[in-house]
Each structure stands twice: as C-alpha cells, then as structure tokens.
Structure 1
Amino acid sequence: MAAASAAAEANGERVAEILVRDDAPKLLAALKEMKDGLDLVRGKVEAITRKVKENQLPTANGIGYLEAKNHLLLGYCQDIVYYLLRKAKGLSVDGHPVVRSLVEIRLFLEKIRPIDKKAEYQIQKLTNAADGATAREKAGNEDVKGKGEHLDEEDLLKYRPNPDMMNTKSAPDGQDNDGIYRPPKFMPASIDDEDKRRKQDSRKDKAIARMAKENPYIKEMIDAAADRPEEWKETVGDESKEFVRYMRQREEQEKQEEELFTRAPVTKRDKQIEKRIRRQLNGLGGLTDGFDLGMNMLFDGDKEDGGGSSKSHGKSGKRKKHQKSSSKKRKRH
C-alpha cells in the first residue's frame, strides 16, 4: 500500500515537471509582458491615488458605465494573476473556475466595444471640459493666467481668416485700371420657342383626333371605309340611353348631396355630357359637334400669324366674346 502511494506521488511529480518544462517558455514570456504592464499601471495608479487623496480628482457623480468597465478590468487582472500563479506552481487549470471567469469577462469586454466607440466623443468632451475647469481654478497668479490667455489665443488663431486664400479681383485683359466702374457684359440669352411650338402642335393634334372621334359624320365615313357593320343607337330626344343614364346618375348624385349635406363636384366631362344632351333635346343633334373646338383652333392660328400683337389679341377676345354670346343665345332658344 505504501509502495503504491509512493509510486503515485512520484508519478505526479514527474507529470508536474513535464508541465513546467513545457509551459516554462510561455510562462516566462507572459511574466515579462505582465511585469512591463504592471510597471506602467503602477505609475499611473500612484499618480491618480495621490490626486484622489489630495481631493484634486473628485470621483463623485461620475459615469456609471466607466465604473462598471473599471470593475470588469480589475476582476480580469485578478483572474489573470491567479491563473499565472497556478501555472507557476505547476498546478492544472483544466476545468478550474478561474478559466470560466476569464472567458466571461473577456466576452463582456468584447460586447461593450461598440458602446466604447459611440461614447468616446462624449467622454472626451466631458474630460476636456473638466480639464479646462481645473486649469481655470488653478490659474490664480498672473503667470498662469497669462499662459492661459496665450493658449486661448492660440486656439482662436486657428479660425482667423487667411488673406492668402482670398481671390484677388484683377482687371480683365485690355481694360485700364482707371477707377471707373464698368458693368460686366453678358451675352443676351435667346429664348427658344421650339418646345412651346412642339407642345402647341401636340395639343392641336390631340384636339383634332378627339374632335374626329366625337364627330358622328366622320365616324360614319370611317366605318363605311372600313366596311364595318352599322351600329344603331337611340340618341334622339329623351328616349336615348345616354339621357336615361344621365338622369339616373343625376338622381343618385342629388340623393347623395341630400344625405351628406354637401355639393358633389361636377367634372368637365359631366358638363360636356350635359351640354350634348341639351343640344339633343333642343333638336340640334350632332350638327354642331366640334364647332367650338374648331373655332378656337382657328383663332389660335390667327394669333400665331399676327405675332402676338395687341390687335390680334383684341380681335380674338372680341371673337371669343361673340362666340360665348352666340352659344348663350343658342341655349336660350
């Protein structure tokens, strides 16, 4: 029994020696890096601790996020020290809680890295404001005050205007600098009426096509030329389908107006339908279809031939008034 225990101890010592021999180079490199980091941290911590003890660095009302991050970093450093201590003693760290703690803290630090980037500007701004306030409080004597003014002047001089960057107003070639102001000469801009004419032509073509489509005589000629069957429509008097449909629509519209207590909007198409039905009821039929449109096109052509003079405008205005009065007389009859 004693021999077995002695053999187990010897085996454990042998395993420990193998682990130390394998991990010794890594441990030495880690210890060297750790020593350099600790020296740097010790110098900064001693300076900060001295300021805190002298009440030169108030820690109240700080940023909670930075305090939590400092606690995480402190715990991470403690776990690393304990991990290296076990490595130095040759003890195994497989399954040890310190490894789990190191992984968790490292995960937290990786997760808060985007927050560091977003809060970096605000933290830097607050730090600069605090440093400026501390510097102004310390500026009690004239030397420090003059130095502060000099620093302020240096900061403000960054935003001064630079005369070298200004454009010099040199006189153009061939002009004497006699001190007399001469306005710049620009080429007169010519207005191109090509687009306007193109729009007018397109509008006329559409109007002619619409007039031809609505004119029953032209439609009959097209149907006859195409050898189409004749279509019979009841379009005379109050027996036409269009009149019945219009009256039904008007009744529904009036009913809707009475229910909603609002006037229904009347579109341009509704006015045209009402006008055509009135002509049919008066016995005119389709004799004057497209007459107003053709007259308007004729007057527009006269305007273009006259070059837009005041006389042509006056004549076209009189013709339009005469046309309106004649259409009113036809409606009365």
Structure 2
Amino acid sequence: YHIMATISQAFQLMDEMNNNVKQVSDLVECLQQKVKSGEISTEHGLDFLEIKYQMLVDYLINLTFVALCKCSGSTIENDPSIDRLIEIRTVLEKTKPVDFKLRYQIDKLVKAAVTGDSQSHDPLSYKARPENLTSNGRVSSDSEIESDTEKRNKIQPNASYVPPKIAAVPYHLEKEEKTKTAIQRARSRMITSSMLEDLKEEYLDNPVEMSAGSKAQQMFSRAQKERENYEEAYLTRLPMTKVDKHRQRQLTTLGTLGDELTDFVNINKLRSGSEKKAKAGMKRRKSQSKKHSKKRKRVTL
C-alpha cells in the first residue's frame, strides 16, 4: 500500500513538472522572439545578473541530469555533476549579500523600463549637494545668490582662496534677564540650604533621624566614612582635594551656623525690587557723605 501511494505521488509530480516545463518553454520562446525582433535589448545589462542567470541555468541542467540518472536507475556516485551542483550552490549562497545590495538598483531600473518613469520622487535624489552651499556666513536674497554664482563662474580655477568676512557681534543681556537668573540662583540656593532642611524636618510629617549637627555636617561625615572605608578596603590613601578642604573649613566657626544666618543677600534677591532699592539707598548715602565731607573742608578752610 505504501509503494502504491508513493507511485501515485510520483505520477502527480511528473504531471506538474510537465505542465511547468511547457509554461517555461513557451515563455522562453516568447522572450527569444522579442530579443530577435529588437523589442528587448540585452546590451547594457548588469554583469552580476548575467553571471547569476548563467549559473542558474547550469545548475538546472546538472540537476535534470541527476534526476534522469536516478529515474533510469544508473549510479550517480563520483559523478562530476554532483560536484558542479555543490560548487554552484555555494557560489549562489555567497552572492546573496551582493544581490541584497543591488536589489534597490535593479528594481529601480526594471520599473523605469516598464513604466517609463524617470523616478522624479526617488529618495536618493534628495542627497546632499555640497556645491550648492554658499561660502558666505549671511542669508542673502535670490538676486544676490544669482550674482554670486555668476561671479564664481567667472573666477579662474587657480585663483587664491578668500575667506568670508564674519564680524563678531556681542550678546547684550538685558537687565530683566539678569535679575531673573539671579532670582533663580537665589531660590535654588535657598531650597538646598541646611536651614530649610531643618525646617522641613521640624514641620513636615516625614520621619526624622536623630543626629547631632546640621545637614552639611551629616553629609560631610558620611563622605568621610565612605572615604575611610575605601582606604581600608584598598589599602590606599586618597589625597585631599581643594573642594574637600574648602568644605572642611566651612564646617568650622561661622560655617557651622550656616550662610543663612550671616548672609542675607539671597533673601533680598527673592524680593521684587529690593535689590534696586538697596542700591539706590547706597548711592544716596554715598552722595550725602561726599556732601558732608565737602562742607567740612570748607569750614576748616
């Protein structure tokens, strides 16, 4: 029963092969007639495709010969067609990356040959063209661009290069922007200050860690512990940087109290118009002191 099933399948395959062979032969004959009549030109083609098609034809010829040997019952051991099939199959597998790279170009040429379109909307047509870039550093009108191109066409190729004239323009920051940046810096300093952190711990519902000293001292002691652990683990002595020395100095004397109790400049910056009033008051005091000094000089004279 198994042999009969395989025989029926073999006959079905043979019928399909005969139909496919007829279709292929008709198509090849039609192409041959078009080539002979001049409807299809094969002069300026891709060499890669020509070699690939020749190898495919050679592969099919050897494959049909092997199938004929199997059907006739002859042996195919040590047959040169087997080695040729292996060689062609290896070459076709190795040329797949090249075929993938040329696929876009091949599809583009085939579409242009079939539809007759020049591919005006091709993405590769939008590539960068450095020759269209202007050498001057300013935006010019259309008439100026045309005149510049005419002048460049008249210039000889051996002429010396003239660099473009670019003048440096200073950036004048407005007073309002300066005040805004100063206020933002002052707010950031006040938010990250140790005094505000202490107020948060006192009035918020967050859990509080019992410790002696301010936040700055806690952070410094934590950094010192990490430093000591690293030195003990790797048996090395880390050098003291300028930043570490500056922090250590700030934690002594007035630094332990915090800058908030000794410096009120940041608070004045947060108030609108307070800085201007303070400057105006300082100017008035200076002018009054100068007037008093002049009067004293006159009285003494």
Interval containing the TM-score (normalised by the shorter chain): 0.3 to 0.5
Q: What TM-score do the two structures reach when normalised by structure 2? A: 0.43
Larger radius of gyration: 1
